Amino acid sequence: MEVYFTPIVSGIVVSLMIIYILVIPVAIFQYRKYDGIMIRRDIVLFSFILYMITAWFMTLLPLPSFDAVAEMPDIEPNLKPFLFVETFLERTGFSLADRSTWLPALKSSSFYTVAFNVLLTVPFGVYLRKYFKVSFWKTILFGCLLSCFYEITQYTGIYGIYPKAYRYADIDDVIVNTFGAGLGYVITPIISRLLPNLEKEKKVYKAGERAGLVRRALALIVDFFIVNIIYSISIFTIGLFLYFILGINVEGEILQNLVRIFSYILVFILIPIIKNGNTLGMEILKIRLLDKDSNYPGKRQIILRNIILILLWRYSEILDKFDMIFKSSNIVLVITGIIELIFMVLFIVYIISIILTGLKKKDLIVYDKISKTKVIIEE
């Protein structure tokens, strides 16, 4: 069983990396479509990714070296259906009439290799019936295609990456994998109660309600991501223009700082003024900035709110830039240290006040309180 350890661990690690990349895009999609995070759907989606990646890795790993494969004798695929039955009977001496042969037969590699190939695609059949609402014969077809994908990948040496096949492609694997998918379809009603029920998960939020902290945080992450995109494109474009048009090779931090400031002003000041208070992140997450009277905020409110927001969320970056400009003098180090300490103390006090007043308090965000604004869910 040690041979399965590497592909399982590798599959889990790669799946977690993919899930990490998908978490924010999936959350944004769900907020736009369902007005909330759909926990059960996320469990199904991410578990399906985990299963598919791990199952595929179990047909590929461990990967041998290219030299080792080159020295291997050619591996001919098995094209004879149900050869595994003959092999099982020959190697185990199994006899249905002789009970003494049953247990040794179940312990043999001829049996558990086939049993593993059946179990490999049982979850696939369950997912197809339970969550994709696929019919039995389509499940059989998709199970067969999935198994063919595994075997073709093996037969072609991962599509030409290796000089030849390093694993045994077998028509019997296609047969038992297809059977496993069908078995998963059949047992789904039996285990259905143990699985997440997506039909019971319905989140309905009314337009005009206060936006939750998670939704607002996602909008802010999107905004900072847009800032970085604008900064990168601007630096690249300006660098090319100065070098190829003017013949100037500029590699100064002053230019980088100016472009960074411009990116923040564009995303958090200019665009919100044009969009009546909303940043692009807020537009994507379908939330709206209003004043206390539920009207569009004024320009002063927008500027005040978002300047405080940037200072709170990017104060460490600002202090680093300030420190670099003044060449890390002792006075500057002392000043920046004091400012960081003040920010830390204020943050701790603010968190304590939130805990004491309760998480259901309407005005939790300091820059909303100071600017007298609120963030609501938009239709």
Say what the pTM is. 0.80
Instruction: Report how far apart the first and last C-alpha atoms of the chain are (Å, whole number).
Output: 54
Eight-class DSSP state of 99:
G
Tokens of 157: 């040496």
As a whole number of angstroms, the distance between CA 129 and CA 127 comes to 6
User: Rounded to the nearest 5°, which phi and psi values hold at 247?
Assistant: 70, 25
The three-class DSSP label of residue 258 is: helix
As a whole number of angstroms, the distance between CA 70 and CA 164 comes to 7
For residue 225, is pLDDT > 90? yes
135-167 per-residue burial string, b: 16 or more CB within 10 A, e: under 16:
eeeebbebbbebbbebbebbbebeeeebeebbb
As a whole number of angstroms, the distance between CA 88 and CA 108 comes to 8
CA 9 to chain centre: 18
For residue 331, is pLDDT > 70? no
Tell the residue number behind the tokens 């369950």, with chain if given. 126
Tell the residue number behind the tokens 């820059």, with chain if given. 367
Quote the percentage of the chain above a pLDDT of 70. 80
Alpha helices in the chain (DSSP H): 5-34, 39-60, 66-71, 83-92, 102-107, 109-130, 136-155, 157-160, 171-191, 213-240, 253-265, 271-274, 280-284, 299-325, 330-357, 366-371
- Amino acid letter, residue 25: P
Model pLDDT for residues 96-114, shown as the tens digit of each residue = 777 777 777 777 777 778 8
Side-chain half-sphere CA neighbours of 216 within 13 A: 16
| Strand 373-377 with 287-291, pairing | antiparallel
Per-residue confidence (pLDDT) for residue 145, from 0 to 100: 96
Cis ω for the linkage preceding 196 (within 30 of 0): no
Tell the residue number behind the tokens 């940043």, with chain if given. 279
> Which of the four pLDDT bands, split at 50, 70 and 90, describes residue 355?
low
For residue 334, is pLDDT > 90? no
Tell the residue number behind the tokens 């259906």, with chain if given. 81
For residue 288, is pLDDT > 60? yes
- 222 and 285 Cβ atoms separated by less than 8 Å: yes
Mean pLDDT over 90-97 rounds to: 75
